[in-house]
Structure 1
Amino acid sequence: MNLFSINSPVMRFLERVFDIIVLNLMTLILCIPIVTAGAAMTALYKTLFDIRQEKGRTVIGFWQTFRAEFRPAMLLGILTLVATAAYGGYLFLLYPQLAAERGWAWITVAAIGALFFFPMTFIFPLFAKFENTVKKTIVNAFYMSIRHLPVTLIMLVMQAAWLVAMFLVPAQAPVILLAWFFFGIALPAYLGSGLFLRVFKQYAELE
């Protein structure tokens, strides 16, 4: 087999890497105006689902979803932003207790963090896959993030890996930031999209 023929494993791998880079840059740019972040994340997951299922084109599919789901996805994005800001404010208020290494403070922070961030892993993949109201999407995200806890934890680990890497190897922070610029959003989403499709298939069969 010719390694550089269009259907060879090497070319398919390079095509996938190119798709991930393009999607990462598009998502990153469209997340800069914070209010459009929800629509960008929804478009990212919808496009990745299409790539996994070998249908649709990357840039066109992303842009079509971004425009079609802009308003409701924008609302989801704003709600997740407000929740994140509220959690950040809570951490700020609780910092003296955390600095004093009080056990109850750390337990509270972990519990509330799970309440906020577990469903966030499912919100945009769910909205990209199923037609539903914003309220129903949030409720389903809470339910699925607990029922499919391994998927939730895997996604959180992949998304946090960049920060952990910079903390562990600060000397390589510029290299890690450069890698994040090209892969940081879309690569974890691509790796997780296969897990999400497997989860969602169970619910699609019930409809």
Structure 2
Amino acid sequence: MNIFNFDSRAYRFLEKITDFLLLNMLWIIFCLPIFTIFPATAAMFGVVRSWLRKEEPSLTRMFFKFFKDHFKQGFILGIIWTCLGVLISFNIFVGFQMDGSLKNVLLPTLIFIGVLFLFTSIYLFPIMVNYKNNGIGIIKNSFLFSISHPLTTILGILMLTVVVLATSVIPLSFLVLSSIVAYFNYYLCSKSFRKVERQKNISFKKEVS
């Protein structure tokens, strides 16, 4: 089989792998200043959203557009979410150092808050690129989706766990896994979005009738 046949499955497969590699490299480059991690991640999710919607203009042009469109919101939300994550992690660490009955009450509460933080994080970027919301709206809707669609949330966490484990064993896997996980994470979340949108549409029709 001639892999250079543009209509062949092998060529399309290689083309898609190349797209994922390029997207991952763009994401890594734009994350290098550190403070741009959230806008760069939003741009990556914006690109995979376009792929899933069969909108496929220039990958580089798409990435730059989404990075520009979500820079301010992503930057501010990144500061808020990072500070919140650090605060929760610090309190859990302190909770483990405690002794007595206070630890038995406080530590489970802190861990529960940490789990909710992690759950909400799964939906954060899909919500950001799929709906027009302010920062508080993104966090609120991410939280509501995470608890109302637990299976998607758990699958998202499992994918992140696999990436962390794979990267720790094979560091170079990081060069492609991030964009692939973003793709499947958005794919799973988009199913939840469509389900809720269909339910709202049905409710609206019932109210009108």
TM class, shorter-chain normalised? 0.7 to 0.9
Contact 1:51 1:58 in 2 (8 A): no
Work out the CA distance in 1 between the residues paired with 2:135 and 2:88: 21
Matching residue of 1:95: 96
Q: TM-score, normalised by structure 1?
A: 0.84
Work out the CA distance in 2 between the residues paired with 1:60 and 1:80: 28
Q: Indicate the SS of the match to 2:36.
A: helix
1:64-75 equivalences under 5 Å are: 64-75=65-76
Distance apart, 1:80 and its partner CA:
1.5
Q: Given the alignment, which residue of 174, 178, 183 partners 2:172?
A: 178
| Structure 2 stretches lacking a partner, 5+ long | 202-209
1:53-202 equivalences under 5 Å are: 53-55=53-55, 56-97=57-98, 107-165=108-166, 173=169, 176-180=170-174, 182-202=175-195
1:96-137 deviation line (CA, Å, top 9, x unaligned): 259xxx876763353122121111110111111111221111
Q: CA 1:129–1:164 in 2, change beyond 3 Å: closer, same or farther?
A: same
Distance apart, 1:49 and its partner CA:
0.9
Q: What amino acid does structure 2 have at the position aligned with 1:183?
A: V
Q: CA 1:103–1:166 in 2, change beyond 3 Å: closer, same or farther?
A: farther
Work out the CA distance in 2 between the residues paired with 1:103 and 1:31: 39
Work out the CA distance in 2 between the residues paired with 1:121 and 1:104: 27
Contact 1:3 1:10 in 2 (8 A): yes
1:15-41 deviation line (CA, Å, top 9, x unaligned): 121111111122122223232112111
1:36-60 deviation line (CA, Å, top 9, x unaligned): 1121111111100111222133111
Distance apart, 1:157 and its partner CA:
1.2
| Higher Cα Rg, which structure | 2
Matching residue of 1:18: 18
Matching residue of 2:46: 46
Work out the CA distance in 1 between the residues paired with 2:28 and 2:179: 9
Work out the CA distance in 2 between the residues paired with 1:191 and 1:146: 19
Matching residue of 2:206: none
Work out the CA distance in 1 between the residues paired with 2:89 and 2:20: 30
Distance apart, 1:166 and its partner CA:
6.4
Contact 1:20 1:190 in 2 (8 A): no
Contact 1:40 1:66 in 2 (8 A): yes
Q: CA 1:144–1:5 in 2, change beyond 3 Å: closer, same or farther?
A: same
Work out the CA distance in 2 between the residues paired with 1:13 and 1:103: 53
Q: What amino acid does structure 1 have at the position aligned with 2:179?
A: A
Work out the CA distance in 2 between the residues paired with 1:22 and 1:178: 14
